[in-house]
Each structure stands twice: as structure tokens, then as C-alpha cells.
Structure 1
Amino acid sequence: MISLDMANDTDLEQLSEQALSNMARLRPVLDKIADKWTIMILTVLCPKPSRFNEIKRRLHGITHKALADALKRLERNGLVTRTVLPTAPIGVEYAITPLGHSLRQPFEALCAWALDHGDAMTEASAAHDHARKAG
């Protein structure tokens, strides 16, 4: 695999062609990791296992159902584990698997990019909307 940090334009073209020629294999995987909450859930779980309500608190805006569904999907896809704790009342803890942890570096890079470029995207959207209204 080519490191994007070290890639030149030819390498990036080859990577793009490889992705496009393998779209049937690529799309189902991306559908499983690039949805609304997966990146954020795995980001919460990367440092340490967490209970359901702790995850929910850290993900402002996620509903109980959306989190429950996402965690079931992530468990099914081998990205998190679910452990029932012998406490009273019974608790459940979620932890990231080695497969899920392998997404940490690309997800951290994506989150850093979002923080660095979010304002520019907001400005571009506003400029686009303003130009459409004016024109």
C-alpha cells in the first residue's frame, strides 16, 4: 500500500485507479465505516473501553436507538466487542478490536483534517449559496 504522505501524483493516480477498478469490493467496506456515527464511536473507544451511557454522553446528539444500532453493527463487523459486566445492575462495556484499532490512524487524520478545514468549507458553502441567490 502506498503511504499518502510519501505518494507522488503517479502513485495517487494508481491508487485512484485501483480503488475504481475494485469498487465492488471497496463500496461495501466504506459503507460500513463511513456512516454518520462509526468514526466518532470508534474515536471514543480507541483510548479505553466504555459503557453505553458514557459513549452516548461523549457523542452529543446521538439517540439511544442510533447508538444501539451502530454498536450492534460494529460488533457484527468485528470492529468492537461487547462484554457483559458482572455488576448490579448488569453493565455492558464496549471495546475496540484490533481490526477497529487499525482504523485509528486514518480516522485521526480525517478528524484533524475536519478541524483544520471545516471553517473553509463553511465559508465556501456560504459563498456558493450567496452566488446562487445573486445570480
Structure 2
Amino acid sequence: MSFYTCLVVMAGGALGTLGRYAVSVAAAPISRDLPWGTIIINVTGSFLIGLFGTLTLATGRFPASENLRLFVMIGICGGYTTFSSFSLQTLDLMRNGAALRAGINIAASVALCVAAVAFGHVIATYLNGPAAPPAIDDKA
């Protein structure tokens, strides 16, 4: 891991984070009943990492350098959504014949992440004290 590679990933992460914010703001008017901004981000990020990651393999139609792949797949997609990495890893498990492990990955990731969010929320609510309302702002 070189300093230059770290800069490449950081630059991609900044762009991905900005993209996430822009989509969240744009989707706010339709996100009253469901967090459509987050859903859109997760779906488009998953699509992007699948498309780019496959097209730019050494055996793909548009082979790309490792730094370009890191810039897009770790930087941009990672800043935009980590759900894209989860989706790619799950697809790889399925493609390699590990359907059971893919199912466990899906169930464990969803259940553990929802439980972790709930646990963090409980701890933060406690730390906030009784004056603060126990709500989560999903627009952050």
C-alpha cells in the first residue's frame, strides 16, 4: 500500500461521499414513507461496482489499472455506499457455488447491522440523557 494509492482511494472516497449527499438531497421529497435516497444509493452503487468491476478485469472488455479500479471500486463506491461491496462479495460467493455461505452472509449482514444500529442508538440515547428525543435522522 503506497502513499499514492492511499491518495487515489481518498480522492475517490471524497467523490463518492459527495455523490451520496447529492442523491440524498435530491431524493428527500420522495423519502417520506421509505428511505428512498438510501435505497437508490445502495442499488446504484451495487450496479456500478458490478458493472465497472467486471468490465475492468484483466480479462474484461476494458482492462484497467489497479489504481483506477481502487479509485472507483473502493474510493467512489466505498464513499457512496458500502452496500456495493457487500453485494459484490455475495455475488462472488454465489458464482463460486457457495449459495449457503452467500445466504448466511446476507442474513448475518442484515441482522447484525440492524442490531448494531439499534445497539448504537440505545447507547447514544442513554448518553444523550432524558431531554433528547430518541430518534434517528436518516438524512445524515
TM-score by length of structure 2 reads 0.28
State which structure, 1 or 2, has the greater radius of gyration over its C-alpha atoms: 1
Structure of higher RCO (CA pairs closer than 8 Å, 6+ residues apart): 2
Q: Which has the higher helix share?
A: 2
Q: Which has the higher strand share?
A: 1
